[in-house]
Amino acid sequence: MKSILLLCLTISFNTFAYRVYDTQNAKYINKSDFHEQIKLIDQFVLGEFHYDLEIQQTEADIIQDIVKERNLEKKFTIAWEFLNYPDQEKLDSSMTKYKNNLISSIDIIKEFFPGEKNTEMNKSYVPLFDVAKKLDGQFIATNAPREWKSVITKKDISELSKDKIPANMSEGSTDYFDRFENIMGGHVKKEMLKKYFTAQSYTDSVISTSINKLAENDLQFLVIGAFHSDFNDGVIPKLNSVSNKEAVTIKIINPKELDQSDIEQYLNGSELYGQYARYIILTK
φ, ψ for residue 93, nearest 5 deg: -65, -45
Interval 138-191: pLDDT, tens: 999 999 999 999 999 999 999 999 999 999 999 999 999 999 999 997 778 888
Q: CA-CA distance, 9 to 27, in Å (whole number)?
A: 10
111: part of which helix (H) or strand (E)? helix 105-112
- Look up the domain containing 129 and give its range: 42-283
The answer to whether the beta carbons of residues 56 and 122 sit under 8 Å apart is: no
Closest CA to 128 of 173, 194, 83, 195: 83
CA atoms 213, 71, 56, 19: torsion sign? positive
Q: 231 lies in a domain? A: yes
Q: What predicted TM-score, i.e. pTM, was given to this entire model? A: 0.93
Q: 276 lies in a domain? A: yes
**Distances in whole angstroms, Cα of residue 274 to Cα of each of 236, 269, 270, 271:** 15, 5, 5, 6
Q: 23 lies in a domain? A: no
- 63 contacts: CB under 8 Å, gap ≥ 6: 76, 78, 128, 131, 135, 137, 221
Interval 186-240: pLDDT, tens: 778 888 999 999 999 999 999 999 999 999 999 999 999 999 999 999 999 999 9
Q: 35 lies in a domain? A: no
Closest CA to 208 of 231, 238, 233, 229: 238
Q: For position 278, which CATH number holds?
A: 3.40.50.11550
Q: 269 lies in a domain? A: yes
Q: 110 lies in a domain? A: yes
Q: 119 lies in a domain? A: yes
Residue 162: what residue type? K
Q: 11 lies in a domain? A: no
62: part of which helix (H) or strand (E)? helix 53-69
Q: CA-CA distance, 60 to 128, in Å (whole number)?
A: 5
Q: CA-CA distance, 13 to 29, in Å (whole number)?
A: 8
Q: CA-CA distance, 282 to 256, in Å (whole number)?
A: 10
Interval 19-51: pLDDT, tens: 999 999 999 999 899 999 999 999 999 999 999
Structural domains in the chain (count): 1
